[in-house]
Amino acid sequence: MHFTHAILRRPGEHFAEGLTRADEGPPDLDLALSQHARYAEALVTCGLQVEVLAADAEYPDSCFVEDPAIVTEAGALLTRPGAPSRLGEVATLRPVLQRYFGSVSSIAAPGLLDGGDVCDLGGRFLIGLSERTNTEGAGQLSRWLEERGYRSETVDLADHPRLLHLKTGITAIDEGRVVVVPGFPVARLLDGMERIEVEAGEEYAANCIRVNDRVLVAAGYPRLLERLEGLGYRTLPLSMSEFRRMDGGLSCLSLRLNLRRG
């Protein structure tokens, strides 16, 4: 889980028009921008070189930059987001990823895939089948990963309607340890891994991110924070209220890269 760089995109003027199932009222754009700036600073604190892309007013969800791409130490792949309003985000990200990786691969129609449905367990990948990711998209990603020496496994989220994305419910914070929501599905790749289950009422906090020697966690979820600190992690709580209103979590706000490979 070592990262050297991160790519972010600032929320734009139409942020409040993005997709959301949360019933928490519209976001305050100024507050979202200050939370976003604090998030970028936190990644710098973790030692990353951070590029913040200009807002793209045409795509209100484009600050959730994790969804249109998958980045690994072996290369990058542009997805084909499952929400029609987000499909165009891919074209704007392509030249950015080409700067970092040279060539980039793509998911092709009829495949659909959101980066939020892909969880890297440390070179082994869980791929969620969700409202945004279909079997064809998951299959294309699985083959792409296999060609690069990675294993993967699909996890059907059909019985978990509260999980918008796979990573709404799981975070890998170490090669042998995940944070999960209660009832997160069984998967072979999780066999032998320790599950830290968030308590009822703290489900949103399951989307935390391990970045080098820190774990970034959403502020306001004290029981998970205490648990992680008790296990010896250095935590960095961040206010996420305005992104939560728009169904976004900590992982969604960045693509985290390791460009010091090997």
* Residue 68 binding ligand GLY, by CB under 6 A: no
SS3 of residue 229 by DSSP: helix
Q: Which of 27, 128, 137, 248 binds ligand GLY (CB under 6 A)?
A: 248
- Contact pattern for ligand GLY over residues 5 through 44, marking x by CB under 6 A: -------------xxx------------------------
Determine the interface stretch with ligand GLY among 119-127, 190-198, 205-213, 246-254 (rule: CB under 6 A): 246-254
Q: How far is the CB of 108 from ligand GLY (least distance, A)?
A: 21
Catalytic residues: 165, 252
Torsion of CA 17, 18, 24, 30, to 10 degrees: -70
Q: How far is the CB of 166 from ligand GLY (least distance, A)?
A: 13
* Residue 128 binding ligand GLY, by CB under 6 A: no
Which residue lies nearer to ligand GLY by CB, 107 or 190?
A: 107
Q: How far is the CB of 257 from ligand GLY (least distance, A)?
A: 21
Q: How far is the CB of 258 from ligand GLY (least distance, A)?
A: 25
The values of phi and psi at residue 22, to 5°, are -70, 145
Closest-CA residue to 119 (of 53, 58, 200, 185) = 185
Question: What is the 8-class DSSP label of residue 193?
Answer: P
Which spans in 83-231 are helix H?
89-101, 135-147, 222-230
For 131-225, list the strands marked E by DSSP.
Answer: 151-156, 170-174, 177-180, 194-197, 209-211, 214-218
Near ligand GLY in 184-243, by CB under 6 A:
none
User: Both tokens of residue 242?
Assistant: 């305005």
Residues that bind ligand GLY (CB under 6 A): 18-20, 61, 64, 83, 246-248
